[in-house]
C-alpha cells in the first residue's frame, strides 16, 4: 500500500533531524553497523507505532538495516512530525501518519499499517496490539511477538493477559532498568520542561509547580522543576510514593488543595481525570496546565471545554479557557503529552538507550519467539546489562570488577 503522509517535499528537513539524532545515538549507530552485517530481521515485517519524530525514525532505519521491511505509524496525533515521516518514505519505508490527524484518520493509519501482516510489533501505548486483537485477529498466527515501550501500554497488556486475551508474547520494554530509570526519569524530566518553556516563554523560578504522580516520570519532572527554581508540590494516591516525595523535599497534598496554589500543573500518572471540574474551579487566574502521561485523559478536557464561557488560542499550542467564575485556565498541547506535542520529546542520548533495548528485544523475539511459553515477558537481563555496558563505554566510564574473593564473599552465608 502507498504511504500516507502530508508532504514528501518536507523530506530534506526530516533527513537533517534524523542525521543529528544519529550523530548523538552511539548505541543505535553500533547496532546499525552490526545489524547491516548479521541481518537479524531478514524476511521479517515489523509494524511500529511510536511517537513519530527523529529518534523513532532512526530506530526504524536501524531495524531496516537489519533486514526488516518497515511499516510505520505514529502513537499520538500531535507527536508526528511531517518532515520526519517524509524522510522515512524518501528512504523507502512505508509510513501512515501525519501531524494533527483526526481520531478517524489516526485509527485508519494504524489499520493500514497493520494490513501488511507483521511478524513483529513495536508498540507505544498499546494501539497496535489492541487493534490486532479487536479487529484483525486473522493476523495473529503470523505474529511472533511484540515490544511495548511505555507504562500505560504495559498496564493495558497486563489487563489483557490477566483476562487470558493476549494471544502472542509481548516484551515489557518499559520495565527494563535501562529504559524506565533513564527515559521516564531523566528523559521526561528534561523534555517536559523543554516543552513547557519553549511554548510558554515564562519564568519557572519562584513559581509553584504541581506534579501529579510521583512515579518515574513524576520524579524527573519534580526534580527538574526544583532545579529551575520552582517550589514543588506533589500529589499522589500511593502512600509510599508520597513519603518518597516528602523525603525528596517536596510538599504533598491532595489535588484540590494544590489546585488553589499552583502556577504550573503537570499530570503524569497514567490515570484519568486527575485534574477535574472541582480543581479547575479553585485555580488561580492564568494557571498553566499540561499533561505528560500517555493518554490525554489526565486533565478532564471534555469538562473544561464544556464549562468554559470562552475559549481562545493564546499562543501556538496554548488554549485559554475562561471559567464562569472569571479565571483563565491555560492548557498546553490540548492536554496531550507536552514533551512531544509541544517539543521534540526526550533527548537523543536517552532514546538511544530505550531504542537499543527495543531493537535488541525485537531481535530476541525473532531468535527465541517460538520457545516462549509466557505471553508477557521482561527484557532478558543480559540485554539490559549489555545496553548498560555499551552505554557506559560510550560515556567513557569504567567500573570495578569483582575479584574472585569478593564474589565468593557475596555468595556465601557463613561469614
Ligand atoms: N511523556 C513521556 O515521554 C512519557 C515517558 C514515559 C512514560 N510516560 C507515561 O507517563 C505515565 C506515568 O509513567 P511512569 O513510568 O511515571 O508510571 P509510574 O507507575 O512509575 O508512576 C505513576 C504514579 O502516578 C500515581 N498515580 C496514579 N493515579 C494517580 C492519581 N489519580 N493522582 C495522583 N497520582 C496518581 C501512582 O501512584 C504512581 O506513583 C504513563 O502514562 C506512561 O505511559 C510518558
Indicate whether 131 and 166 sit together in one domain.
yes
User: Is the CB of residue 343 below 6 angstroms from any atom belonging to ligand 1?
Assistant: no
User: Is the CB of residue 40 below 6 angstroms from any atom belonging to ligand 1?
Assistant: no
CA 140 to centroid of ligand 1, rounded, Å: 30
Question: Is 413 inside any structural domain?
Answer: no
Count of the separate structural domains present in the chain:
2
CA 195 to centroid of ligand 1, rounded, Å: 18
Question: Is 409 inside any structural domain?
Answer: no
Confidence at residue 368, expressed as pLDDT on a 0 to 100 scale:
95
Confidence at residue 392, expressed as pLDDT on a 0 to 100 scale:
96
Average pLDDT over residues 351-379: 95
Confidence at residue 310, expressed as pLDDT on a 0 to 100 scale:
98
Residues with Cβ within 8 Å of 228's Cβ and at least 6 positions away in sequence, in order, are 193, 204, 205
Residue 388 — very low, low, confident or very high, per pLDDT cuts 50/70/90? very high
Indicate whether 43 and 170 sit together in one domain.
yes
Grid cell listed for 273:
481525570
Nearest protein Cα to ligand 1, atom 33: 236
Indicate whether 215 and 351 sit together in one domain.
no
CA pair distance 222, 231, nearest whole angstrom: 9
Q: Where are the alpha helices (DSSP H) in 66-180?
A: 82-90, 103-114, 127-135, 151-162, 177-179
CA 216 to centroid of ligand 1, rounded, Å: 7
Indicate whether 367 and 329 sit together in one domain.
no
Indicate whether 327 and 385 sit together in one domain.
no
Domain enclosing residue 290, as ranges = 188-341
Question: Is 36 inside any structural domain?
Answer: yes
pLDDT tens string 126-175: 999 999 999 999 999 999 999 999 999 999 999 999 999 999 999 999 99
Question: Is 192 inside any structural domain?
Answer: yes
Confidence at residue 414, expressed as pLDDT on a 0 to 100 scale:
76
Indicate whether 329 and 355 sit together in one domain.
no
pLDDT tens string 33-49: 999 999 999 999 999 99
User: Is the CB of residue 361 below 6 angstroms from any atom belonging to ligand 1?
Assistant: no
Q: Where are the beta strands (DSSP E) in 333-412?
A: 376-378
Atom of ligand 1 nearest to the CA of 125: 43
User: Is the CB of residue 292 below 6 angstroms from any atom belonging to ligand 1?
Assistant: yes
Indicate whether 48 and 66 sit together in one domain.
yes
Confidence at residue 363, expressed as pLDDT on a 0 to 100 scale:
97
Confidence at residue 291, expressed as pLDDT on a 0 to 100 scale:
98
DSSP 269-307: SS-S-SB-HHHHHHPPTTEEEEE-SSSTTSB-HHHHHHH
Indicate whether 144 and 249 sit together in one domain.
no
Nearest protein Cα to ligand 1, atom 20: 215
pLDDT tens string 229-261: 999 999 999 999 999 999 999 999 999 999 999
Grid cell listed for 278:
472541582
Q: Is residue 312 predicted with pLDDT exceeding 90? A: yes
User: Is the CB of residue 218 below 6 angstroms from any atom belonging to ligand 1?
Assistant: yes
Confidence at residue 81, expressed as pLDDT on a 0 to 100 scale:
96
- For residue 129, how many other CB atoms are within 10 A of its CB? 23
CA 292 to centroid of ligand 1, rounded, Å: 8
Indicate whether 355 and 314 sit together in one domain.
no
Question: Is 305 inside any structural domain?
Answer: yes
Indicate whether 329 and 354 sit together in one domain.
no
Q: Is residue 187 predicted with pLDDT exceeding 90? A: yes
User: Is the CB of residue 188 below 6 angstroms from any atom belonging to ligand 1?
Assistant: yes
Q: Is residue 197 predicted with pLDDT exceeding 80? A: yes
Measured between its terminal Cα atoms, the distance across the chain in Å is 66
Question: Is 351 inside any structural domain?
Answer: yes
Confidence at residue 177, expressed as pLDDT on a 0 to 100 scale:
96
Question: Is 246 inside any structural domain?
Answer: yes
Q: What is the CATH number of the domain that holds 192?
A: 3.40.50.720
Which one, of 49, 80, 129, lies nearest residue 336 by Cα? 80
Residues with Cβ within 8 Å of 98's Cβ and at least 6 positions away in sequence, in order, are 4, 5, 6, 80, 82, 85, 105, 109
Q: What is the CATH number of the domain that holds 383?
A: 3.40.50.1480
- Contact by Cβ (8 Å): 297, 205: no
Q: Name the CA radius of gyration of the chain, rounded.
A: 22
User: Is the CB of residue 339 below 6 angstroms from any atom belonging to ligand 1?
Assistant: yes
CA angle 216/156/148 to nearest 5° reads 65
Indicate whether 285 and 205 sit together in one domain.
yes
pTM (2 d.p.) = 0.92
State the Cα torsion 110-111-116-122 to the nearest 10°. Answer: 30
Q: Is residue 401 predicted with pLDDT exceeding 80? A: yes
Indicate whether 169 and 24 sit together in one domain.
yes
Residue 125 — very low, low, confident or very high, per pLDDT cuts 50/70/90? very high
CA 42 to centroid of ligand 1, rounded, Å: 36
User: Is the CB of residue 268 below 6 angstroms from any atom belonging to ligand 1?
Assistant: yes
Grid cell listed for 248:
525528596
Question: Is 1 inside any structural domain?
Answer: no
Residue 1 — very low, low, confident or very high, per pLDDT cuts 50/70/90? confident
CA 406 to centroid of ligand 1, rounded, Å: 39
Amino acid at each position: 500500500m502507498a504511504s500516507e503522509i502530508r508532504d514528501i517535499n518536507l523530506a530534506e528537513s526530516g533527513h537533517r533531524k534524523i542525521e543529528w539524532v544519529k550523530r548523538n545515538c552511539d548505541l543505535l549507530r553500533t547496532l546499525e553497523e552490526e545489524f547491516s552485517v548479521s541481518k537479524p530481521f531478514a524476511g521479517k515485517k515489523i509494524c511500529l507505532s511510536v511517537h513519530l519524530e527523529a529518534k523513532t525514525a532512526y530506530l526504524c532505519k536501524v531495524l531496516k538495516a537489519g533486514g526488516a521491511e518497515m511499516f510505520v505509524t505514529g502513537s499520538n496525533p500531535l507527536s508526528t512530525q511531517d518532515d520526519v515521516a517524509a524522510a522515512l518514505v524518501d528512504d523507502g519505508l512505508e509510513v501512515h501518519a501525519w501531524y494533527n490527524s483526526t481520531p478517524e484518520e489516526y485509527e485508519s493509519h494504524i489499520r493500514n499499517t497493520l494490513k501488511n501482516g507483521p511478524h513483529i510489533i513495536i508498540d507505544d501505548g498499546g494501539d497496535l496490539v489492541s487493534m490486532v486483537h479487536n479487529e484483525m485477529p486473522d493476523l495473529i498466527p503470523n505474529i511472533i511477538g511484540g515490544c511495548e515501550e511505555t507504562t500505560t501500554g504495559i498496564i493495558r497488556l497486563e489487563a489483557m493477559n490477566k483476562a487470558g486475551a493476549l494471544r502472542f508474547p509481548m516484551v515489557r520494554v518499559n520495565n527494563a532498568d535501562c529504559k524506565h530509570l533513564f527515559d521516564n526519569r531523566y528523559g521526561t524530566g528534561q523534555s517536559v520542561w523543554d516543552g513547557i518553556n519553549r511554548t510558554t516563554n515564562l519564568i519557572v523560578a519562584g513559581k509553584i509547580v504541581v506534579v501529579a504522580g510521583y512515579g518515574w516520570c513524576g520524579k524527573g519532572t519534580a526534580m527538574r522543576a526544583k532545579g529551575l527554581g520552582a517550589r514543588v508540590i506533589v500529589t499522589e494516591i500511593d502512600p509510599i510514593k508520597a513519603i518518597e516525595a516528602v523525603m525528596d523535599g517536596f510538599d504533598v497534598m491532595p489535588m484540590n488543595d494544590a489546585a488553589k496554589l499552583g502556577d504550573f500543573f503537570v499530570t503524569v500518572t497514567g490515570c484519568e481525570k486527575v485534574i477535574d471540574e472541582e480543581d479547575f474551579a479553585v485555580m488561580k487566574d492564568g494557571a498553566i496546565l499540561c499533561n505528560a502521561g500517555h493518554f490525554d485523559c489526565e486533565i478532564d478536557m471534555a469538562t473544561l471545554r464544556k464549562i468554559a464561557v470562552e475559549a481562545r488560542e493564546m499562543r501556538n499550542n496554548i488554549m485559554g479557557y475562561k471559567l464562569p467564575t472569571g479565571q483563565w485556565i491555560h492548557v498546553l498541547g490540548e492536554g496531550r503529552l507536552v514533551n512531544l506535542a509541544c517539543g521534540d520529546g526526550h533527548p537523543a542520548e536517552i532514546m538511544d538507550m530505550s531504542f537499543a533495548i527495543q531493537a535488541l528485544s525485537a531481535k530476541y523475539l525473532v531468535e527465541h519467539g517460538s520457545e516462549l511459553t509466557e505471553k508477557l515477558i521482561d527484557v532478558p537481563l543480559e540485554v539490559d546489562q549489555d545496553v548498560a555496558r555499551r552505554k557506559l563505554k560510550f560515556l567513557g566510564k569504567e567500573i570495578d570488577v569483582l575479584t574472585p574473593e569478593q564474589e565468593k564473599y557475596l555468595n556465601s552465608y557463613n561469614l
